[in-house]
Structures are given as C-alpha cells and as structure tokens.
A and B are shown apart, each in its own frame.
Chain A
Amino acid sequence: MGLERLCACVAVFALAALLLPSRAAHAEGEVAKLQAELAATRSDLADTRSALARTQALVEDLARKVDDFGTRGQTADAERVPPADETARLPPVNVDNPSISFVVDGKARSNTQGDDGVGFLLGSAELFLSAPIDPYLRGYASINGTTEESFDVEEAALVTTALPLNLTVKGGRFFADVGRFPHWHDEALPFVERPQSLDRIIGGESGAEGVEVSWLAPIDQYFELTTGVYNSVGELPDDLASLVGQPSYSELTYLVHPNTYIDITDTLSVEIGGTYFAVPTETRRRLAGFDVTLRHQPGTSAFYQGTVVGSEWYWNDQEFLDAGGGSSRFHRNGGYAYFESFFGRRFSGGILFDHAEEIAGATARQNAYSGFVSWMPSEFQRVRVQVDEIDQTGANDQRFWLQWTAFIGSHSHGFSTR
C-alpha cells in the first residue's frame, strides 16, 4: 500500500512536472491580457473623466454666462469681453440724426426811465443742431427767435475737421471770430444782456456770411491765428445805410484775429487776443480791438471756486451814407470790463462796466454799471438777477432784470465759448 501510494505520488508529480510549464505559460498570457484590459479600462476611465471635466467646465461657463446675462451691469466681478474690432467704448449715436438742443431764455425787466417800462421778453429760443457730416467735415446750425425778432437762421456753417497743417476752414453763415463775446450766443454770456458797447460797435453778435481759415501753431505755446473774408460783420441799425458789403472783392470785409494764452501759474492764466477787420475800398470800415481774459481757477472744493476778469475794447472808423446821397465818416469806440467770481457749486456774481457810443450820428455816450448774481439749481438751468445803473444823456436809468435760462439736451457751443 505504502509502495503503491508512493508510486502514485511520484507519477502525479512527474505528470505535474510535465504539465506545469505549459499551464504557467497560459497563466502568464491571461495575466498579460488582463493587464492590457485593465490599462485600456483605465485609459477609457481617464478619457471619460477628462470628457466629464470638460463638460462640467462647459456647463459652469455656460451657467456663468447665463448669470452674467441676467445680471449684466450689476456686478463688477465679471470681465467684459469686447468685440474683436472694438478699440473704444463710445456712446451710441444715431448716425442719421444730429445732436439737437434747445435753449429757453426768458427775461423780466423793469426800467425807471425810458419807454421800455416793465415787461417780459423772450431773450432767446435757440434750436441748435450739430453733427459730423463725413470724416472730413462737420456742420451746425443755430436757429433763434426772440421777442424782438422772429425765428432766423443765426448760424448755418460747415467746418473742416481733418485738414493738414493744423488748418481749419469754416464757411457759411456764422459768428465771425471777433474778440471774445461778439461770437458768443446770448445765453452763454455771464450777463443778462450783451454789453451795449458790443451792440453798437460790432452790431450785436459778429454775424457774417463768408469763409474763415484758422491755424493753430504747432508749438507748445498756444497761438491761434484766424483770417476771414465776409460780406460784412455784424448788423447795423435799421436807420443807417452802410457802404460795405458791395459785390466787389475790395469791398468785402477782411479779418485777422491772433489769439494766445499763457499759464502764469497752475491756477492763474491769461488769454490775449487782437482783432482787426477792414473794407479795403477807401477804407470804408476799419475796426481794431483787443480782448484780455484773466482766469483764476484754483480747482479746490472750498466755497470760493474761482474768478474771471475780462475786458474788450474796440475802435471803429466807418463811412455811412447820408440822407442827401453823400457820406460821412464816424470814429467811435467802446468796450467793457467785468469780473465774475464763482462760489460753491452753483453761485456766481460780479460787476460789469460798459462804455458805449453810437456808431454814427450823435455820439450819445453811455456808461453802464451793473451787478449780477447767478444761481444754477442744476447744470441745466440758471436763474440770474441783474441791476443796471445807466449814466446817459438825459435822465439816468435804472434797470432790474430777472433771467431764467434752461437747456434742453446737450447744449454746447464748444471750445469757442470757453
């Protein structure tokens, strides 16, 4: 039995020894196969995880965009994604329509002398339109009506915007570049009324039809030179007949106006200009003048906010037709000086002195002394009171003014009314 068992065991071991190599080889194959399958599964799992991560990121990104869309403008944490070709964020402009604004300037007046008496005036109802026309040109128009005059086109002009050599050309009907206030619109003045000296010598605003060329010197110092040619400058009283404005080159009005500006300190500056215009034929009209503006602009938050001191003076030499067909020449002068200080964010006040002479006929000298206070409830409306003491031939006059001005829309006559 023992021997038989021993023999059987030996036989089994021998058989096992014969069979083992092939089974081991088979097992190794199985392991390798399983390992390959495991690696493939792991790879698939990694791919799946990666795809899932991408999907999750995409979902999160979409969710964020949806949130951003829903709360656009309400959170500063989201970064704006500008369109690829955008270089600046500009306000939307309706390219088919110009900028439109309207000024309502109402006045109440009381005189102690003269025929004016007490009453209300529409000082100005001005519709102002402006827009770029193309890359090289802009246009603007000002249509104004008052109590004394019906609606009229005060200005309708084209202005170049892209000429070389710092040149700008303006053409049409506009306020010629005379001094400072002559080319300002009434509602932009610091006083209720345009100084009488400018009304008499210039003829109100320096309204003209013609063409102007201005040049800005390409240097650090501000220097601008304007030259112009016009039919005439300003308006004459109805009872005067002028010899200017005849259809001949030599009877047009030619103007030159240099202007410079100096920063005296960081807060104090002065602007100086000179004006000369003339009609060449027999020098039928020649006008010379200067303007000086001193500004103190401390830029502080204190109650005192700054002061402007300004003056203009003009000498006019002009020939007028007589009733009898002849002509007479008159040399007259006039001008004003004023200062205005600004207080808080909405008050200003100042005084004005004005010396005026009639442009023709009797001189009728008039000296006016005015005090004015302005209150601006907001940037878009202004209430002003002014008292005038008028020293003139005959009885002196005292005038009291209340002016209420409001601006509908974005109303600005630009750099020229700085």
Chain B
Amino acid sequence: MAFRLASAALSIAVMALLSTAASASLRVVATTPDVADMARQIGGDRVLVTTIAEGSQDPHKVPVKPSFVTKLNRADALVVQGLGLEHAFLPALLEAARNPRIAPGAPAYIDSSLYVEALEVPTSTNRSQGELHPLGNPHFNMDPVQGKRMARAIAEGLERIDPDGAAAYRDGLARFTAVLDERIPGWLALAAPLRGVKAVSYHQDLSYFANRFGLVLDGTIETKPGVPATPKHLEDLVAQMKRDEVRLVIREVAYEMPLAETVAKKTGARVATVATLTGGLPGADTYVAFVEANLRAVLAAASPAGSE
C-alpha cells in the first residue's frame, strides 16, 4: 500500500514537472491593457500575460492590491507603459514583490516608452503646476504611430530576456506593425474633418492624440494636471471656450460625466467619451480597436450632426 502511494505521489510529481516544462511560457506582468495586448500579440504562445490596470480606470489611481504583488513576485518580465504613468501604484507593488529581476533598470523591466519622443516635458517641476510627469506626458499610447514604437521596445525587451524566441518576437512585431501600417493611413484620412477642430479635455492626456489627428486642444476641465476643477477655473474655462468657439468637450472614461456635460451645456459644445487605456470603451479590447474607437467617438461628436 505504501509502495502504491509512493508511486502515485512520484507520478504526480513527474507529471507536475512535465507540465511545468511544457508550459514554459514567460510570465509577463503588464501594467496597462495596452502594453498587455502588444506583449500578447508580439509574444504569442511564448508569453503568459497578466494585467494590473483595467481599461476604464484612471491610471493614476489604480488600487494597490496584494494580489498584484504575487503576480509581480513570480513574473519573468514586467512591461510598463513608462514616462511615470504608473508612479501611483507600481513603486509600492514592486517594493513588496521582492523580485529584483523586474526592478526598474533591470533587464526584465521592459519600458515601452523607450523610442517615444515625449511631448510636454516640463522645464521645471513643482507642485504648484499640478501633478506633472518629469519625463513628459505619458499618454502616448493614444497615438498609433507611438504604438508602433511601443511595440518595438516591447519586442526588443522580450528578446532581451528570451533570446531563444528572438525570431518569434520579430515576427510578432512585424505582424503587429503591419496591421498598424495598414490602418494608420485610413485613420488619418478618417480624421481629416478633425484638423483644426478645437477641443477641451478633462485631463491633460490627449496631446499625442491631438498631435496625430489634428485637433487643437484649448484647455482642460481640471485646473492643473491631477488637480480637480474649481468653480473659478470652470467659469474661466467656459468664457475661454465661448471666446475661442470651442464646440467639443472630450471626457475620458475614467472621469465623471456630469462636469463635462455641464461645461458642454454652458458652451453649446458636444461631449465625446474616449478611453485612455485599451478596453476602456465597450468592444475596444485590443490596441487597434482602442485607437479606432477613440477616433470614431471624437469624430461622432465633432461632426455637425454628431452626438454622444
């Protein structure tokens, strides 16, 4: 009996070892759904990706859950969007995760911002200017051209920690880039009516999107980055929008709708709801769908007959 039990235990152990070997995918933790989607598309079967932030969340307010700590503790790689986007939650999680392989600057810390030329790099930073990111605006994922650069950095990062998969990662990158190369001209053509259109956003996170598709940003509902609106600021903003004939308010899905609607109502503008992360809008669960959904939402609100 004892022999049978020992044999069964041994068999289970061997099977467990074999199954571990068979599923020897890289355990990748991605901070945002955008870099998670890119890592999945580039890495294919070689990676097992889990995500920390959800698409509808404000990336500056992602909760610090202990369940993220265990994921980071066992991760072979960490993919971050970068430029300080994750500063509100990632340092505390990494401190508790005890995984030096994915510490900032370590080879398995994959920073998707590596090839992105940052916009709005502050020349001086103090808190009177709000919650500024010292390395520049981190919401570059909203521009698909930057998306290609993010993918390149992610592919190179995966290759760095898994050289055996270099060919697979390069193929994955080529496929992902080809899709964007195919879609970007169409998006630019689609966005032609947006060129020169003035808009106000809730947070200062549309700079790359506006830069790509020709919007002219004319202020934010927030008083300063990360600082909620004051009545005086809203009064000034409404006056400015009327003076500058701004007819479009873009509200990011993580921010409350009523204030955006109030500003729009006072100025005769329409409200477009966009996401700052993949998955933030219904059905936009991939990076490509996210870019398209944002563009179509803004177009719908900006067109003469558009509506939310």
**Per-residue contact bits, chain B 104-118, to A (CB 8 Å; 1 contact, 0 not):** 110101110111111
Q: Which of A89, A221, A412 contacts B92 (CB 8 A)?
A: A412
Point out the residues of chain B lying under 8 angstroms from A86, CB to CB: 114
Max chain A Cβ within 10 angstroms of own Cβ: one of B67, B84, B130, B145: B67
Question: Which 10 residue pairs of A and B lie closest in terms of their CB atoms, listed nearest first?
Answer: A261-B66, A88-B111, A415-B96, A222-B66, A73-B121, A415-B92, A80-B117, A418-B64, A378-B227, A299-B57
Q: Which of A76, A161, A263 contacts B146 (CB 8 A)?
A: A76
Max chain B Cβ within 10 angstroms of own Cβ: one of A163, A295, A297: A297
Q: Decide: A216 near B69, CB < 8 A? Known: A80-B115, A88-B82.
A: yes
**Per-residue contact bits, chain A 209-231, to B (CB 8 Å; 1 contact, 0 not):** 00000001111111010000000
Nearest chain A CB to B154 CB, angstrom units: 12
Closest B-chain residue to A417, C-beta based? Answer: B92
- Indicate if A301 sits at the interface (CB-CB under 8 A): yes
Q: Decide: A78 near B111, CB < 8 A? Known: A220-B70, A300-B56.
A: no
* Contact assessment for A301 and B253 in the assembled complex, using a CB-CB cutoff below 8 Å: yes
**Interface residues of A, dominant DSSP:** loop
24 intermolecular pairs with C-beta atoms under 8 Å apart: A75-B117, A76-B117, A76-B146, A79-B115, A86-B114, A87-B160, A88-B82, A88-B110, A88-B111, A90-B105, A167-B98, A220-B74, A301-B58, A301-B253, A301-B255, A301-B256, A303-B258, A415-B64, A415-B69, A415-B92, A415-B93, A418-B64, A418-B65, A418-B92
B185-200 interface with A by 8 A CB criterion: none
* Contact assessment for B134 and A91 in the assembled complex, using a CB-CB cutoff below 8 Å: yes
6 further A-B contacts with Cβ under 8 Å, apart from A73-B120, A87-B157, A415-B64, are: A76-B119, A88-B111, A166-B98, A344-B256, A379-B131, A415-B95
A34–B179 Cα gap in the complex (Å)? 55
Q: Decide: A89 near B83, CB < 8 A? Known: A216-B98, A222-B67.
A: yes
For the complex, count residues of B whose C-beta is within 8 A of A: 68
Q: Decide: A90 near B54, CB < 8 A? Known: A76-B140, A76-B145, A263-B65.
A: no
Q: Which of B109, B131, B208 contacts A87 (CB 8 A)?
A: B109
- Indicate if B292 sits at the interface (CB-CB under 8 A): no
- Indicate if A249 sits at the interface (CB-CB under 8 A): no
- Indicate if B226 sits at the interface (CB-CB under 8 A): yes
* Contact assessment for B136 and A73 in the assembled complex, using a CB-CB cutoff below 8 Å: yes
Point out the residues of chain B lying under 8 angstroms from A120, CB to CB: none
Closest A-chain residue to B94, C-beta based? Answer: A415
- Indicate if A15 sits at the interface (CB-CB under 8 A): no
* Contact assessment for A168 and B105 in the assembled complex, using a CB-CB cutoff below 8 Å: no
* Contact assessment for A299 and B70 in the assembled complex, using a CB-CB cutoff below 8 Å: no
- Indicate if B143 sits at the interface (CB-CB under 8 A): yes
* Contact assessment for B65 and A299 in the assembled complex, using a CB-CB cutoff below 8 Å: no
A168–B98 Cα gap in the complex (Å)? 8
A302–B93 Cα gap in the complex (Å)? 26
* Contact assessment for B135 and A74 in the assembled complex, using a CB-CB cutoff below 8 Å: no
A residues lining the B interface (CB < 8 Å):
72-80, 82, 86-92, 135, 161-163, 166-168, 216-222, 224, 261, 263, 269, 271, 295, 297, 299-303, 344-346, 377-380, 412, 414-415, 418
* Contact assessment for A263 and B228 in the assembled complex, using a CB-CB cutoff below 8 Å: no
* Contact assessment for A216 and B211 in the assembled complex, using a CB-CB cutoff below 8 Å: no
A220–B27 Cα gap in the complex (Å)? 12
* Contact assessment for A379 and B226 in the assembled complex, using a CB-CB cutoff below 8 Å: yes
Closest A-chain residue to B58, C-beta based? Answer: A301
Nearest chain B CB to A73 CB, angstrom units: 4
* Contact assessment for B69 and A88 in the assembled complex, using a CB-CB cutoff below 8 Å: no
A222–B121 Cα gap in the complex (Å)? 38
Point out the residues of chain A lying under 8 angstroms from B69, CB to CB: 216, 222, 415
- Indicate if B149 sits at the interface (CB-CB under 8 A): yes
Closest A-chain residue to B211, C-beta based? Answer: A76
Point out the residues of chain A lying under 8 angstroms from B91, CB to CB: 412, 414
Nearest chain B CB to A72 CB, angstrom units: 8
Nearest chain A CB to B182 CB, angstrom units: 19
Closest B-chain residue to A136, C-beta based? Answer: B100
A301–B256 Cα gap in the complex (Å)? 5
Point out the residues of chain A lying under 8 angstroms from B146, CB to CB: 76
Point out the residues of chain A lying under 8 angstroms from B157, CB to CB: 87
Q: Which of A89, A261, A414 contacts B135 (CB 8 A)?
A: A89
Nearest chain A CB to B81 CB, angstrom units: 11
Point out the residues of chain B lying under 8 angstroms from A168, CB to CB: 98
* Contact assessment for B119 and A74 in the assembled complex, using a CB-CB cutoff below 8 Å: yes
* Contact assessment for B256 and A303 in the assembled complex, using a CB-CB cutoff below 8 Å: yes
- Indicate if B63 sits at the interface (CB-CB under 8 A): yes
* Contact assessment for B67 and A218 in the assembled complex, using a CB-CB cutoff below 8 Å: no
* Contact assessment for B140 and A91 in the assembled complex, using a CB-CB cutoff below 8 Å: no
A412–B64 Cα gap in the complex (Å)? 13
Q: Which of A135, A161, A299, A302 contacts B54 (CB 8 A)?
A: A299
Closest A-chain residue to B73, C-beta based? Answer: A216
Q: Which of A72, A77, A345 contacts B145 (CB 8 A)?
A: A77
* Contact assessment for B254 and A301 in the assembled complex, using a CB-CB cutoff below 8 Å: yes
Closest B-chain residue to A86, C-beta based? Answer: B114
Nearest chain B CB to A135 CB, angstrom units: 8
* Contact assessment for B70 and A302 in the assembled complex, using a CB-CB cutoff below 8 Å: no
Nearest chain A CB to B230 CB, angstrom units: 8
Point out the residues of chain A lying under 8 angstroms from B117, CB to CB: 72-73, 75-80
* Contact assessment for B254 and A218 in the assembled complex, using a CB-CB cutoff below 8 Å: no
Point out the residues of chain A lying under 8 angstroms from B145, CB to CB: 76-77
* Contact assessment for B114 and A82 in the assembled complex, using a CB-CB cutoff below 8 Å: yes
A119–B116 Cα gap in the complex (Å)? 54
Point out the residues of chain A lying under 8 angstroms from B109, CB to CB: 87-88
Closest B-chain residue to A266, C-beta based? Answer: B54
A168–B96 Cα gap in the complex (Å)? 9
Nearest chain A CB to B38 CB, angstrom units: 16
A73–B133 Cα gap in the complex (Å)? 13
Point out the residues of chain B lying under 8 angstroms from A263, CB to CB: 65, 67
Q: Decide: A216 near B96, CB < 8 A? Known: A90-B104, A297-B63.
A: yes
A74–B95 Cα gap in the complex (Å)? 34
* Contact assessment for B84 and A269 in the assembled complex, using a CB-CB cutoff below 8 Å: no
